[in-house]
Structure 1
Amino acid sequence: MASIKQTLLLLLATTSALHTTRPSEDPFYIPPPGYESTPPGTILTHREPPHPIAALNLLPIKLHNAYQILYRTTDSFDNPTATVTTLLIPHSANLSTLLSFQVAQDSASIDCAPSYAFQFGASTATPANLLGTLISQNQLLLITAALRNNWPVLVPDFQGPQAAYLANKLAGRAVLDSLRAALASHTFTDLSPTAALTMWGYSGGSLATASAAEQHPIYAPELRILGAALGGTVPNIHTALSQINGTHSAGLIPSGLWGLANEYPAVNTTLTTHLASSRRLRRKFTKARGQCCGANIARFTHRDISRYLEPGDAYLTDGVLRDVYAANALGRLGTVPTVPLFVYKSVTDEISPVEETDELVSWYCAGGARVEYRRVLVGGHGPLAVKGAPSALLWLGGRMGTTTLTALADVKAGKLLGDVLRGKLEKVLGEPLGGWIGL
């Protein structure tokens, strides 16, 4: 425990010294006048990240180059908006391939976006909240595994400029328009404009990835997407919010409610109306709107969220909220995906019941989708994020033609992940990957 605390204190000291500009204060994130008339996916401006890309703020990632691209996309109401995507290009990159990795930001604050969180010195940490952007930063370790295979990796801020967590319709469009922008960036990135495209996301990242797959045939049919890997899927928002109340993950409830409030004015009005009369409880719940996922998980762990609302079950029973949950449920965001899918889910997932993923996969298959579905018998939601990664990487490599897709073996998956990276992930997870690595 002491070593973890020392690491977090070092992280805080480092970030305090660097004064990295947060998105809420950075003019780069503001689109230029008239951008609304441009087509979705249009590049509005670009730059190299102000600071190097570094995992956990402390582990620099060796890259050939990195770019941040502000691009035009479309919100949940078909209105123009703009967000940022980060393109990471490794040394010896295969510029005819591109993986879009959707980070589980799981926060209602733009200052937790991966375009910011991945920079050396970026954090929302304070002495009272040492977690800062740590949850997002951890996922850069998985991205590193993809970079080791010479794939350029695209990381969109798919929650948009208002950090609309759980606004999955917006998220899917932001992913697709990020791919459009990346393909159009060839003049300054050298990425092939005909690159083979794949997508990958776990948990909150799988929501955006699945949404992109469902909207792809209608919203961006010209994109040649060869496959999408979805892990830890959460098909039904209402069920998940009900299931995680009072658990370690209860902090995702205020994050999700405020995220939807950032996109839907009706949700904002309704949620504000239902806040508890206690000033202390209102202040604590409202503070979650400006905090990153890790801080909210820590603050609300094992808490009963009904304490913060009146009536306590309003977040599950209010008609406005239920309608918005339904509008953003997987299977209702577009149509059956034409993109081949790799879906992996723990049968003991504590965030979302596996039966709902079973139903989603069945619906996809009944509509003609090509799905490889793996129901993993051991481990919960969190561990599978790491332990399922090698299988997802192998499958994605097979789709892009850069890896021979054969029966998974521990030794092969271990090589794909990399011994050094594997060791770092084991430290983050707190246990050895062992035989899990091949699923």
Structure 2
Amino acid sequence: MREAKESSALSASAPRALWRVLAPWLALLLLLAVPPFVWPQSWLLAYLAQTATMIVFALSYNLLLGETGLLSFGHAAYSGLGALAAAQVFNRIGVPLALLPLVGGIGGVLCGVPFGFISTRRAGTAFAMITLGLGELVAAAAWTLPDWFGGEAGVAIDRASGVPLGSWSFGPAREAYALIAVWCLLACAAMFALSRTPLMRLANAVRDNPVRAAAIGCYPRRIRHGVVVMSAFFAGIAGTLALINVELVSTESVGMLRSGAVLIATVIGGTAAFCGPVAGAVVLTFFSVAVASVTRAWLFYLGLFFIVVVAMSPDGLAGFAQRFMARVAAHGWRRCAAAYWWGTAAALLWTVAVVLAVQWAYAAQFGASDGAAFDVPGVPSWIIASPLYFGAMIFVLATLGALAAHYARRAQALLMSPRSSATATAGASR
């Protein structure tokens, strides 16, 4: 009887485990495939192409940071140099555009082999500083070698001039986006398979305890070097996807801003889960494209969001989602609803208060154009322009947010109380 119950429980938990594995992939597929058919505007295709590029770039970076514990400040060098090699090969030899990301990946590997050999001589902070120096070296070389890097103009390509794939010339934005989306899915699947290999298990061992890994016959430096080369390969693919999207690779592609952007995306999403950098890439692209098109304060909002995520959930958005699902599975949705509803209300109220304060400050500093979003029908403009108006509104919203946060903490305390835990355990056993 007991064995029958255990087998039925295992059979019931198997579909749940399968759904947890497939859900992120289905979400990624829907994100890349559905919007172009619903809203086929060119700006949406450009936004999704940037998102797909950043997803591959962030996942390649997580091979270093999440899997091997290597903090790099020069990861953009691999993507930029890979894209530059792909552009030169495309212009001089005429490789088919559908195979150009593979050329960019090989270019990233050719840069990753010597750079990885130099940087992996040390680990920890020394590795980060070496990658910082290598990144600055590449950025300086981009300006001192204009014949290869193109100088200020960069190196441009005409993607429609390559060998067509059937009836596809990849000149239209929709065809180019389809190629980028397919390569994004292929690269994500390849990195997912790579993360399940024994090599990555050795990389995890080197990350957690390199001395013990060396004691069992592993060579930590060789493992680190191998992971750097593989990460450079996928970073070169990401850089080439960006090249296909904008048809240009410039000195900004190897700069520190791009290296910092991929670091922020990976940390926001979370390094412990494979899908974490994917979520971080989507969030970063949303800020840099959607929010930047509305206000010039988007960098302020991105920095504030980054601080909040690191302070409240050090393991990123993926870690927060895992804790949320575990708590709901342990206590039930009904018991968790009050805490999460009040917490969501507090977050929304505080977000609106911060946005009002920042937008008012930017409007006062840079002109009324940044405060146009505050026009309220039926309210005189002199009231909207008054600091007292915004001060009172921000105070009310912040107070309501604090009250909602108080109720959220009370609901969470009741949820985590021993009596509630015992009740939930008894319900689960039944």
> What TM-score bracket applies, with the shorter chain setting the length?
under 0.3
The alignment's TM-score, normalised by the length of structure 1, stands at: 0.27
Larger relative helix fraction: 2
Larger relative strand fraction: 1
Larger radius of gyration: 2
The alignment's TM-score, normalised by the length of structure 2, stands at: 0.28
